[in-house]
Amino acid sequence: MSKSIFEHSSPGRKGVGLPPRDTDTPLDKIIPQKYHRQSAARLPEVSKLDVMRHYIELSHKNHFIEKGLYPLGSCTMKYNPKIHEVLARHSCFTNLHPYQPESTMQGSLELLYELQEDLAEISGMAAVTLQPSAGAQGEFTGIKIIEAYHKAKGNTHKTKIIIPDSAHGTNPATCHLVGYDVVELKSDAQGRCDIDHLKELVDENTAGFMLTNPNTLGLFETHIEEIAEIMHSFDALIYMDGANMNALLGIVQPGKIGFDIIHYNVHKTLSTPHGGGGPGAGPVGVVEKLIPFLPVPMVSKDADGYHLDYSHEKTSIGKVHSFYGNFAVLVRAYIYIKMLGSEGLRRVSENAIINANYLMAILKDYYHIQHLEYCMHEFVADGTWQKKANGVTTLDIAKRLLDKGFHAPTVYFPLIIPEAMMIEPTETEGLESLDAFATAMIEIASEAKDDPDMLRTAPHTTPVRRVDDVRAVKQLDPIFKIEE
Ligand SMILES: *Cc1c(COP(=O)(O)O)cnc(C)c1O
Domain count, the chain: 3
- Cα–Cα distance measured from residue 178 to residue 134, given in angstroms and rounded to the nearest whole number: 16
Q: Using the predicted structure, report yes or no on whether residue 50 has a pLDDT greater than 50.
A: yes
**Where does residue 74 rank: exposed (0-12), middle (13-18), buried (19+ CB within 10 A)?**
buried
Q: Which of 170, 333, 216, 207 shows the shortest CA–CA distance to 264?
A: 333
CA of 170 to the centre of ligand 1 (A): 7
Position 437 in a domain: yes
Question: In terms of C-beta distances under 8 Å and separation of at least 24 residues, what long-range contacts does 13-21 make, across chains too?
Answer: 13/45, 13/46, 13/47, 13/50, 14/45, 14/47, 15/46, 15/47, 15/48, 15/50, 15/51, 16/48
Q: Using the predicted structure, report yes or no on whether residue 118 has a pLDDT greater than 50.
A: yes
Residues 34 and 182 in one domain: no
Q: Is there an atom of ligand 1 within 6 Å of 242 CB?
A: no
Residues 353 and 456 in one domain: yes
Angle CA(99)–CA(104)–CA(110) in degrees, nearest 5? 95
Q: What proportion of the chain, given as a percentage, has pLDDT over 90?
A: 84
Per-residue pLDDT tens over the stretch 295-342:
999 999 999 999 999 999 999 999 999 999 999 999 999 999 999 999
Position 96 in a domain: yes
Q: Using the predicted structure, report yes or no on whether residue 161 has a pLDDT greater than 80.
A: yes
- Cα–Cα distance measured from residue 354 to residue 367, given in angstroms and rounded to the nearest whole number: 19
Q: Using the predicted structure, report yes or no on whether residue 27 has a pLDDT greater than 90.
A: no
Task: Output the domain CATH number for residue 311.
Answer: 3.40.640.10
| Reported confidence tier of residue 365, pLDDT bands at 50, 70, 90 | very high
Question: In terms of C-beta distances under 8 Å and separation of at least 24 residues, what long-range contacts does 271-277 make, across chains too?
Answer: 271/78, 271/80, 271/81, 271/84, 271/332, 271/333, 271/335, 271/336, 272/80, 272/84, 272/329, 272/332, 272/333, 273/80, 273/85, 274/75, 274/77, 275/75, 275/77
Position 77 in a domain: no
Omega into 19 within 30° of 0, i.e. cis? no
- Cα–Cα distance measured from residue 235 to residue 203, given in angstroms and rounded to the nearest whole number: 10
- Cα–Cα distance measured from residue 416 to residue 190, given in angstroms and rounded to the nearest whole number: 12
Residues 359 and 323 in one domain: no
Q: Is there an atom of ligand 1 within 6 Å of 74 CB?
A: yes
Task: Output the domain CATH number for residue 405.
Answer: 3.90.1150.10
Greatest mean pLDDT among 20-34, 42-56, 96-110: 96-110
Q: Using the predicted structure, report yes or no on whether residue 362 has a pLDDT greater than 90.
A: yes
Per-residue pLDDT tens over the stretch 411-445:
999 999 999 999 999 999 999 999 999 999 999 99
Q: Using the predicted structure, report yes or no on whether residue 228 has a pLDDT greater than 70.
A: yes
Which pLDDT value is given to residue 42?
Answer: 84
Domain boundary among 313, 340, 367: 340
Q: What is the mean pLDDT of residues 70-91?
A: 94
| Reported confidence tier of residue 119, pLDDT bands at 50, 70, 90 | very high
Q: What is the mean pLDDT of residues 225-243?
A: 97
Name the closest-CA residue to atom 8, ligand 1.
135
Position 62 in a domain: no
Q: Is there an atom of ligand 1 within 6 Å of 254 CB?
A: no
Q: Using the predicted structure, report yes or no on whether residue 484 has a pLDDT greater than 70.
A: no
Q: Best substitution site from 72, 74, 329 to test ligand 1's pocket, by max atoms within 8 Å of Cβ?
A: 74
Residues 264 and 299 in one domain: yes
Which pLDDT value is given to residue 482?
Answer: 66
Residues 105 and 36 in one domain: no
CA of 242 to the centre of ligand 1 (A): 8
Which pLDDT value is given to residue 182?
Answer: 98
- Cα–Cα distance measured from residue 244 to residue 121, given in angstroms and rounded to the nearest whole number: 17
The residue range of the domain holding 21 is: 5-50
Q: Is there an atom of ligand 1 within 6 Å of 247 CB?
A: no
Position 72 in a domain: no
Q: Using the predicted structure, report yes or no on whether residue 1 has a pLDDT greater than 60.
A: no
Q: Best substitution site from 77, 171, 212, 241 to test ligand 1's pocket, by max atoms within 8 Å of Cβ?
A: 241
Residues 327 and 434 in one domain: no
Which pLDDT value is given to residue 480?
Answer: 73
Q: What is the mean pLDDT of residues 188-196?
A: 94
Q: Using the predicted structure, report yes or no on whether residue 62 has a pLDDT greater than 90.
A: no
- Cα–Cα distance measured from residue 123 to residue 32, given in angstroms and rounded to the nearest whole number: 61
Omega into 459 within 30° of 0, i.e. cis? yes
Q: Using the predicted structure, report yes or no on whether residue 351 has a pLDDT greater than 60.
A: yes
How high is the mean pLDDT of the chain? 94
Q: What is the mean pLDDT of residues 442-465?
A: 96
Residues 324 and 363 in one domain: no
Q: Is there an atom of ligand 1 within 6 Å of 263 CB?
A: no
Position 452 in a domain: yes
Name the closest-CA residue to atom 5, ligand 1.
135
- Cα–Cα distance measured from residue 347 to residue 324, given in angstroms and rounded to the nearest whole number: 30
Residues 148 and 197 in one domain: yes
Position 60 in a domain: no
Q: What proportion of the chain, given as a percentage, has pLDDT over 70?
A: 99
Residues 328 and 357 in one domain: no
Domain boundary among 308, 340, 372: 340
Residues 297 and 406 in one domain: no
Residues 103 and 209 in one domain: yes
| Reported confidence tier of residue 48, pLDDT bands at 50, 70, 90 | very high
Name the closest-CA residue to atom 4, ligand 1.
135
Residues 315 and 399 in one domain: no
Position 299 in a domain: yes
Domain boundary among 340, 375, 402: 340
Per-residue pLDDT tens over the stretch 369-407:
999 999 999 999 999 999 999 999 999 999 999 999 999
CA of 207 to the centre of ligand 1 (A): 22
**Mapped to the 3 state alphabet, what secondary structure does the chain carry?**
CCCCCCCCCCCCCCCCCCCCCCCCCHHHHHCCHHHCCCCCCCCCCCCHHHHHHHHHHHHHHCCCCCCCCCCECCCCCCCCCHHHHHHHCCHHHHCCCCCCCHHHCHHHHHHHHHHHHHHHHHHCCCEEECCCCCHHHHHHHHHHHHHHHHHHCCCCCCCEEEEECCCCCHHHHHHHHHCCEEEEECECCCCCECHHHHHHHCCCCEEEEEEECCCCCCCCCCCHHHHHHHHHHCCCEEEEEECCHHHCCCCCCHHHCCCCEEEECHHHHCCCCCCCCCCCCCCEEECHHHHHHCCCCEEEEECCEEEEECCCCCCCCCCCCCCCCCHHHHHHHHHHHHHHHHHHHHHHHHHHHHHHHHHHHHHCCCCEECCCCCCCCCEEEECHHHHHHHCCCHHHHHHHHHHCCCCCCEECCCCCCCCEEEECCCCCCCHHHHHHHHHHHHHHHHHHHHCHHHHHCCCCCCCCCCCCHHHHHHCCCCCCCCCC
CA of 451 to the centre of ligand 1 (A): 37
| Reported confidence tier of residue 41, pLDDT bands at 50, 70, 90 | confident
Q: What is the mean pLDDT of residues 260-275?
A: 93
